[in-house]
Amino acid sequence: MGEVIAEVLPPAIGIAASPFPIIPVILLLFTARPLAASGAFLGGWVLGIGVATAVFIGLANLVEAFDESPTWAPWTRIVIGVVLLVLGVRQWLGRHDSDEPPAWMRSIEGSTPAEASRLGLLLSAANPKIVLLAAAAGLAIGAADLPTSGTVAAGALFTGVASCTVAVPVLLFALVGERVLRPLASMRDWLQANNATVMALVILVIGALLIAKGISGL
């Protein structure tokens, strides 16, 4: 179990370190129903990551049932790592293309809790970078031949760590109220200005780690 935890923590930290979901959850705290909207977004985000991870756990179990070759998992890590490196380089090269936030981010101000929930689900389960990181974790968990309880625990750990930075602003607002909005607004502005750079660096580091882990397992 310890080896599996060591495998799933890097991609989980990679998702958690990404500014991509943190910006919208902070923006939702400035809407008419801040706690409901941000909480709904958090729920959608957790659900999206959990479902994506579960799909790849199931896929790994299926592959294990038909192919007992020990090399499929390292090669899968290498492929995912290479794809992440390519995405990271593209993100780095295009980090100065536009200083304007995307249209969907500018429209968050009027989001209802239902819309916020759908947005959280969409940004997690339909985002290629997030899905690739969930794939790395899910395949590692599924290939580890854990008991059902261990598989569920590892999946929950990955999802929890990956979602922690989205949960923190919601919890802070629930505990402290509007006093937390000023520092969160400053954080939002910094993340918006540096989103592409931070995301590129995170993806490049995780991609390199996956390639190194895959090569060591061959």
Domain-by-domain residue ranges, the chain? 2-216
Query: Which pLDDT does position 188 carry in this prediction?
Result: 87
Question: What is the pTM for the complete model shown?
Answer: 0.88
The answer to whether the beta carbons of residues 214 and 76 sit under 8 Å apart is yes
pLDDT in tens, the chain (218 residues): 788 898 899 999 999 998 888 999 999 999 889 999 999 999 999 999 999 999 999 998 887 766 666 577 788 889 999 999 999 999 888 877 655 666 667 778 788 999 999 999 999 999 999 999 999 999 999 988 889 999 999 999 999 999 999 999 999 999 999 999 999 999 988 988 888 888 889 999 999 999 998 898 77
HSE, CB side, 13 Å, CA atoms: give it for residue 20: 24
Both tokens of 51, joined, read: 């479902």
Residues 6+ apart with CB under 8 A from 103: none
Q: Which of 86, 89, 45 is nearest to 197 (CA)?
A: 89
Query: Which pLDDT does position 214 carry in this prediction?
Result: 86
